[in-house]
């Protein structure tokens, strides 16, 4: 797994039809689009997927669909929504074919003591039969993963959307959560990157992955600038902007987002 779970991971969007239900056909077509453009790893039910607006049965269904229709590696996000629900979702990872599971800290309340975070993560890690990845996103979770937490909790890797590169030396594998800042952390030793904008232009990010793997430093540095220029306009628009851009690539892809997000 350590040889395969590195490089680009695409956190897949969740499409909704006019009634607000998951558009399963659009989801499957998107998976095929990613595969056709050399994406080998995806994350299901992440931030980009609007997991906070999905019912438990919807999150489970998306994993089932992904496993049926995507031949590559699948990372299931199963965190942030309470210990007992997260335990259930870690079990889905074990039983329904996820290749790894990634877990946010609790998203409410904020400012929890490190001891509480350690106990929470250890309780979830104990039930995981697949590689266990911690997910650092203090802007939304209100609780940062610290070096002390990383030392105390057995884990396979960290996905760090805060881009706190000081954490890199405290984890076996570091994945930067960024669609813009890829080249520098990889040069510093990061195992890979989780890029939301790759939902729309996967070929660009897959090409970046190949340059990094081939250690083509100068070419990767040039492509980093292209990636920054391409992804910058999406920063303000978020998930809605990604869906609108994807609809221009995939005919009929729905652009609806769930409240409280707005298109």
Please check the confidence at residue 108 and state whether its pLDDT lies above 90.
no
User: Residue 80 pLDDT more than 90?
Assistant: no
> Using 50, 70 and 90 to split pLDDT, how confident is the model at 235?
confident
**Tokens representing residue 184 in the block:** 């520098």
Per-residue pLDDT at 122 exceeds 70: yes
CATH level 2 (architecture), domain 7-247: Alpha-Beta Barrel (3.20)
User: Which residues are known to be catalytic?
Assistant: 135, 159
Whether 88 and 60 have beta carbons less than 8 Å apart is answered as: no
User: Is 101 marked as binding a ligand?
Assistant: no
Could you read off the pLDDT of 170-220 as tens digits, one per residue? 999 999 999 899 999 999 999 999 999 999 999 999 999 999 888 888 899
Determine whether 118 is exposed, middle or buried from the number of CB atoms within 10 Å of its CB (0-12, 13-18, 19+).
Answer: middle
Band (pLDDT 50/70/90 cuts) for residue 63 is very high
90 is in an annotated binding site: no
pLDDT at 1 over 70: no
Threshold 0.85, pTM exceeds:
yes
- Under the banding of pLDDT at 50, 70 and 90, the label for residue 145 is very high
């Amino acid at each position: 797994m350590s040889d395969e779970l590195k490089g680009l991971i695409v956190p897949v969007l969740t499409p909704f039809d006019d009634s607000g239900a998951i558009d399963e056909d659009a989801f499957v077509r998107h998976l095929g689009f990613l595969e056709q453009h050399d994406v080998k790893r995806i994350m299901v039910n992440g931030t980009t997927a609007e997991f906070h607006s999905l019912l438990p049965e919807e999150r489970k269904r998306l994993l089932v669909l992904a496993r049926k229709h995507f031949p590559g590696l699948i990372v299931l996000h199963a965190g942030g929504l309470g210990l007992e629900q997260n335990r259930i979702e870690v079990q889905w990872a074990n039983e329904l074919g996820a290749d790894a599971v990634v877990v946010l800290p609790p998203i409410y309340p904020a400012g929890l003591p490190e001891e509480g975070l350690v106990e929470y993560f250890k309780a979830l890690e104990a039930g995981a039969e697949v590689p266990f990845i911690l997910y650092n996103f203090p802007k939304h979770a209100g609780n940062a993963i610290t070096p002390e937490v990383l030392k105390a909790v057995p884990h396979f890797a960290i996905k760090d959307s805060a881009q706190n590169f000081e954490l890199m030396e405290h984890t076996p594998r570091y994945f930067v959560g960024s669609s813009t800042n890829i080249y520098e952390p990889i040069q510093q030793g990061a195992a890979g990157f989780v890029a939301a904008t790759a939902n729309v232009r996967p070929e660009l990010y897959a090409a970046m992955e190949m340059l990094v793997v081939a250690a083509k430093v100068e070419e990767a540095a040039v492509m980093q600038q292209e990636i920054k220029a391409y992804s910058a306009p999406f920063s303000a628009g978020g998930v809605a902007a990604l869906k609108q851009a994807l609809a221009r690539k995939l005919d009929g892809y729905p652009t609806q987002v769930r409240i409280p997000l707005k298109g």
